[in-house]
Amino acid sequence: MGSSIFFDAHFDAIVEQALKFYHCPGLSIAVVHKGTTYAKGYGFANIESKTAVTPETLFYTGSTTKSFTAAAYSIIASEPSKYGGVDWSTPISHITPEDFVLADEWATNHVTVKDALSHRTGYPGCDMAYGQVGTNMKDTIRLLRHLPMVAEPRVEWRYQNIMYTAVSNAIEKVTGMWLGDFLRQNIWTPLDMASTFFTLEHALQYVKASKGHNVQLATGYRWVAADEYGCRFLTGDNQAGHFVEEPYMNLSHVSGAGTMISSVVDYAKYLHCMLQQSEPIPPLGHRALRQAHTLINSEVFPTFHEIYARGGGGPVEIYRHPGALYGFRAEMVYVPKLELGIITLGNGAPTATQVGQLLVYEIVDNLLGIDRSARFDLKKEHIAQEEALLKTLPLQISQKRLFGPFTGSVRPLRISMQDHAGKYSNAGYGEVTISVRSRDANYKLAELSDSAGQVTDHFLRLSPSPHTWRWAADLTHVSDEWFLASFVNSYPPLEFKQNPDRYQYGDEGVLETRVRAVFKLEPQGAVRRLGIELEPDVADAEEAKQRRGKGDKRTDGVWDWDIEKGMIWFERID
């Protein structure tokens, strides 16, 4: 394993500049090309100790775990006689009927393993539902019966983590083995992937046993910017801010959807297997893994599977899967025509993704012989994507888009702000607590007028029960019982206040999006339930359904459909 062919001085300079520009502490990269592996580490695995990243450094690999879950099932599907006759077309409910129950009876009986692995089940992401502290894999899967579908199965591609957890459970049922053991026995050990793990506990045991051999588990970080953009895209060589250390995560409840920990050295062995279509994955398995099973309607570049039509060598197919967890990002790519595989693992969130993409296309473009002046400017694209998102977040734009009908006709709350406080519950999304918060000089989430003058200095904080995925929402009164809900992706407490005037995200995290929320009252005036657009895909699908045939003449904020049907509803329980 060498490093000089791909990682010359020019490439090293690109990496160092990217780590600085995107505020990423460290990154390791491995390239597999024509059967040879090249690997190198850059930056720090731990900022405080100045521990350098090496090719052997361990990282959480996030959703790239899904590739291994699909590969594991390909082994099973290639030997149906050994595993009870199951194959790609077996409905999951036939394997685990007590766990796999969906919101629709037909879908329950017909959604197959292939459907689940291809993200074509009709479910939206539902990432705010699962991961409650103390839950396990089966608990996660059993939430599906309470969660909304937005389309019929096999109609649309929608990324869905829980379905990979469901397939993990199915694998364990037909093999009689824990998925981590099945992977080690059937994929990792045959490929000599000795530093790949399915649990944090096993990874830490390996690090402890390897003391003195330059093996460590990287520390995950988030960059917290000190400018008006809060903590979003985080680009800029001279941007003020600091790193926040992220705690390691226990991900047993998601299983094969994203729990692995590994190194680029080990992932290179897997990429070699995928490129050569070699054992331990059988030929039928490789063929199924490379086939297209659904269409992805994505305007964002890069996507999961693309035809890269650049360079003199003609178009090439690029297979890609990213991974994302708090403090960690992964990019796994292979390009069969170029006999090329690349894996990058970084410990900076969210922008180690952008660094990885930048390096992937630097290498691909080099191999394709594309003149630098003719290359796609991926950094420019990253900035454009983020700037487009940021333009949707300012209060005035959100208010116009979501609450146009209330312009000039603001009505006061029917009951006091305090009377909204309490606990609310949804069978799929769990319990949330509503509390009243007071604004201070550093908190100006909104400046909406209130004709009653009773809520100008207060807002409601929606806090879920403890989850793996940290989120919350601040609800600012708009009119009557309608609120503007600002969702934040929270993280450990900050050491200093951010600029609150434009992209305020509360005191716990970064503003992600704004949606509508409404409280429903009993005839006697008590709050009965809370509706909130918790799943934007559900709200969008319901609007499209109701407005079908009405044309595209709707203007911002004009409600010619029943918005409440696109909401997730929480019943008051205290």
Q: How far apart are CA 518 and CA 502, in angstroms?
A: 24
pLDDT at 296: 76
422-426 and 36-46 as β-strands: parallel, antiparallel, unpaired?
unpaired
Q: How far apart are CA 11 and CA 220, in angstroms?
A: 24
570 Cβ neighbours under 8 A, 6+ residues apart: 424, 425, 426, 429, 432, 529, 530, 531, 532
- The H-or-E segment that residue 385 falls in is helix 378-390
Q: How far apart are CA 433 and CA 421, in angstroms?
A: 7
What Å distances lie between residue 402 and 250, 485, 517, CA to CA? 37, 10, 10
Question: Under CATH, which number does the domain 9-61+200-249+260-279+314-389 receive?
Answer: 3.40.710.10
What Å distances lie between residue 175 and 76, 137, 164, 168, 179, CA to CA? 8, 17, 16, 11, 9
Question: Under CATH, which number does the domain 70-179 receive?
Answer: 3.40.710.10
pLDDT at 503: 30
Equal CATH topology for 9-61+200-249+260-279+314-389 and 70-179: yes
pLDDT at 469: 82
pLDDT at 305: 65
Distance between alpha carbon 212 and the CA centroid of its chain, in Å? 35
pLDDT at 441: 43
549 Cβ neighbours under 8 A, 6+ residues apart: none
Domain ranges of the chain: 9-61+200-249+260-279+314-389, 70-179, 394-572
CATH entry, 394-572, from 1.10.3720.10, 3.30.1360.120, 3.40.50.1980, 2.40.128.600: 2.40.128.600
Going residue by residue through the chain, which has 574 residues, state the pLDDT in tens, using 9 for 90 and above. 656 679 999 999 999 999 999 999 999 999 999 999 999 999 999 999 999 999 999 999 999 999 999 999 999 999 999 999 999 999 999 999 999 999 999 999 999 999 999 999 999 999 999 998 889 999 999 999 999 999 999 999 999 999 999 999 999 999 999 999 999 999 999 999 999 999 999 999 999 998 767 789 999 998 877 544 344 455 556 666 788 888 899 999 999 999 999 999 999 999 999 999 999 999 999 999 998 888 777 665 566 667 676 655 668 889 999 999 999 999 999 999 999 999 999 999 888 999 999 999 999 999 998 888 888 888 888 888 777 777 777 767 787 788 876 656 778 899 999 999 999 999 999 999 999 987 654 444 433 334 344 445 688 999 998 888 888 888 988 889 999 998 877 654 333 233 333 233 334 456 778 899 999 999 999 999 999 999 988 988 888 888 776 655 555 555 667 889 999 999 999 8
